[in-house]
Amino acid sequence: MADQPETPPIDELLKGLWRENPVFIHVLGCCPTLAVSNTARNALAMGLATLFVLVGSNAVISSIRKFVPQQVRMASYILVIATFVTIVDYAIQAISLDLYRALGAFIALIVVNCIILGRAEAFASKNTVARSALDGVGMGLGFCLALLCLGVVREVLGYGTLFGVSLFGERYQGWVVMILPSGGFLTFAAWILFANWLRKRGASS
Amino acid sequence: MNGVAAGLPARSETWPMYRSMVGIGLLCGLLLVGAFQITKPIIERNQAEALARAIFQVLPEAASSKTFALGDDGRFTILEGQPVGQTIVYGGYDATGRLVGVAVEAAGMGYQDTIRLLYGYSAENDAIAGIQVLDSKETPGLGDKIQFDPEFLANFARLDVTLAEDGSRLAHDIVSVRHGQKTEAWQIDAITGATVSSNAIANILNKSATRFVPAIRAHLDDFRETE
């Protein structure tokens, strides 16, 4: 069933973590990356929600890839993705209202996260269900990781806490800019710089 | 496939499109209905719990609460079932069933979006006994301090809302003053760097208290009779 040259299945999982990391390498999905990474908790929740949608939509899209005509494939993908996003939306409301309020409109906006449609079009529509699901897990974890990288830095500097636990005691004066959108851009730029430096170093050695 | 078929797709070409779109749509619809049905009771329970927590937060002495609807005649009656468009307030009672206060929901414009909050009115003290922000999108790190800054929230432990002599309005408007300049019991000490959000809270409270405190005060028995 392999429509592409055979690679070990575990590779589909691992590539999303670093080599093809959706945020740091592909620079996709920047909108939620910047907006919902002001605390580590929000970042983790957003990452997990996206992970779930990515795995679900990749698996379903892969399983229907032979039945869906070319002309309507995008519409079908969006339908499937929107369904999973709405399920996640309900699930988060059921799990925690506080979390739901913190994530706000960004849960619904997972529908237009280009990582998800990107993986559907570039990978799930050409590969087996198992491989697509693995790809979804890998890319989802990569997205999660990237959001956490930003979230941890911004929360520690901005609030002086990590996952709500105070690190520096009461006297720490929060670095407010890090919690605001501009802090997202600063942190994002710093991480991209770091990622590119790592990649360059890996390529030259 | 050429000529006529390219310009005007044959039935055999469009059929798979309809089939797949309708099929996927139906399946997705079923999945959504399922997810909605499963989560609906949980979400409603969460919302009710969040409201109950907020009521006990703004009326610290309360042990139980009852929901009241404000009628056209200005009287409060116990509400059975779900509210449909009425104005709702919550009576809070201590363990012995004594009325300790009334919790009222209020909303108004903040810095970025509507702020919704719940405040507790204690008739015994002629004061607001506490507030809890239910919903706000104030700037993180600055305006959102209205939700949890202990110094700011201390303003509302006993914020004076004594009525004027004729009982129709507040004796003093609730106002916010610059940080550290609070001198009167009806003033709110604003948060430095969050003046707009602090003012918004004062305005919301003032507007709502001007309407509800006289109404509640005039019909306190409505809340007591149900004990």
Q: Which residues make beta-bridge pairs with A165?
A: A162
Six token digits for residue A201: 């170093």
Give the pLDDT confidence score for residue B1 in this predicted structure. Answer: 43
Q: Tell me which residue has tokens 């589909």.
A: A12
Task: Give buried/exposed letters for B35-69 (b at 16+ CB in 10 A, else e).
Answer: beeebeeebeebeeebbeebbbbbbebbeebebbb
Contact: B20, A104; criterion CB under 8 Å:
no
Find chain B residues with C-beta within 8 A of A179's C-beta: 140-141
For an interface test with A, the pick among B26, B39, B57, B139 (most A C-beta atoms closer than 10 Å) comes out as B39
B4 pLDDT tier (thresholds 50, 70, 90): very low
Task: Inspect the interface and report whether the beta carbons of A93 and B35 lie closer than 8 Å.
Answer: no
Cβ A86–B46 below 8 Å, yes or no?
no
Question: Is A176–B39 a contact, with Cβ atoms under 8 angstroms apart?
Answer: no
Q: Which residues of A touch B (CB under 8 A)?
A: 38, 64, 67-69, 71-72, 75-76, 79-80, 82-83, 86-87, 90-91, 93-94, 96-97, 101, 104, 158-159, 174, 176, 179-180
Give me the percent of chain B exceeding a pLDDT of 90.
54
pLDDT of residue A5: 59
At CA B136, angle to CA B134 and CA B140, rounded to 5? 125
In chain A, % helix, strand, coil (3-state, to 5) comes to 70, 0, 25
- Give yes or no for B50 touching A (CB within 8 A): yes
Mind telling me how many Å the CA of A171 is from chain B's nearest CA? 14
Q: Is the overall model pTM greater than 0.95, yes or no?
A: no
What is the structure's pLDDT at B121? 95
DSSP conformation letters of B100-113: EEEEEEEEEE-SSS
Q: How far is A92 from chain B (nearest CA, A)?
A: 9
Which residue of A76, A78, A177 to mutate against B (max B Cβ within 10 Å)? A76
DSSP state, residue B154: G
Q: Which two tokens stand for residue A94?
A: 């059921």
How many angstroms separate the CA atoms of A119 and A156, rounded? 32
Percentages of chain B per state (helix, strand, coil), in multiples of 5? 40, 25, 35
**Cβ partners under 8 Å of residue B62, min gap 6:** B55, B56, B92, B93, B94, B100, B101, B120
Q: What is the mean pLDDT of chain B?
A: 88
Tell whether B39 lies on the interface with A, counting CB pairs under 8 A. yes
Query: What is the model's pLDDT at position A1?
Result: 45
pLDDT at B3: 44
B31 interaction partners in chain A (CB closer than 8 Å) = 83, 87
For residue B136, the chain A residue with the least C-alpha distance is: A101
Of A86, A90, A97, the CB nearest to B50: A97
Provide the pLDDT for residue B25. Answer: 94
B64: tokens are: 């139980």
Put simply, whether B134 touches A (Cβ < 8 Å) is no
Q: Which position has the higher pLDDT, B209 or A99?
A: B209
Contacts of A69 in chain B (CB under 8 A): 16-17, 20
Inter-chain CB proximity B39 and A64 less than 8 Å = no
Q: Inter-chain contact B31–A83, Cβ cutoff 8 Å?
A: yes
User: What number is the average pLDDT over the span B70-85?
Assistant: 83
Which among B42, B46, B140 is the nearest to A38, CB-wise? Answer: B140
Whether the CB of B9 is below 8 Å from some CB of chain A: the reply is no
In the predicted structure, residue B223 carries a pLDDT above the cut 50: yes
- pLDDT confidence bin for B5, thresholds 50/70/90: very low
Please say if the pLDDT value at position B140 is more than 50: yes
Report yes or no for ipTM above 0.85.
Answer: no
What is the block-wise mean pLDDT of chain A (205 residues), using blocks of 10 residues?
Answer: 66 89 90 88 92 95 92 92 94 89 81 91 93 95 95 92 87 86 94 93 84
Query: Taking CB atoms and an 8 Å limit, are A180 and B141 in contact across chains?
Result: yes
Residue count of chain A: 205
What sign does the CA torsion over B144, B137, A49, A15 have?
negative
Q: What is the mean pLDDT of residues B9-22?
A: 81
pLDDT given at position B8: 54
Structure confidence at residue A54 (pLDDT) = 95
pLDDT for the residue B9: 54
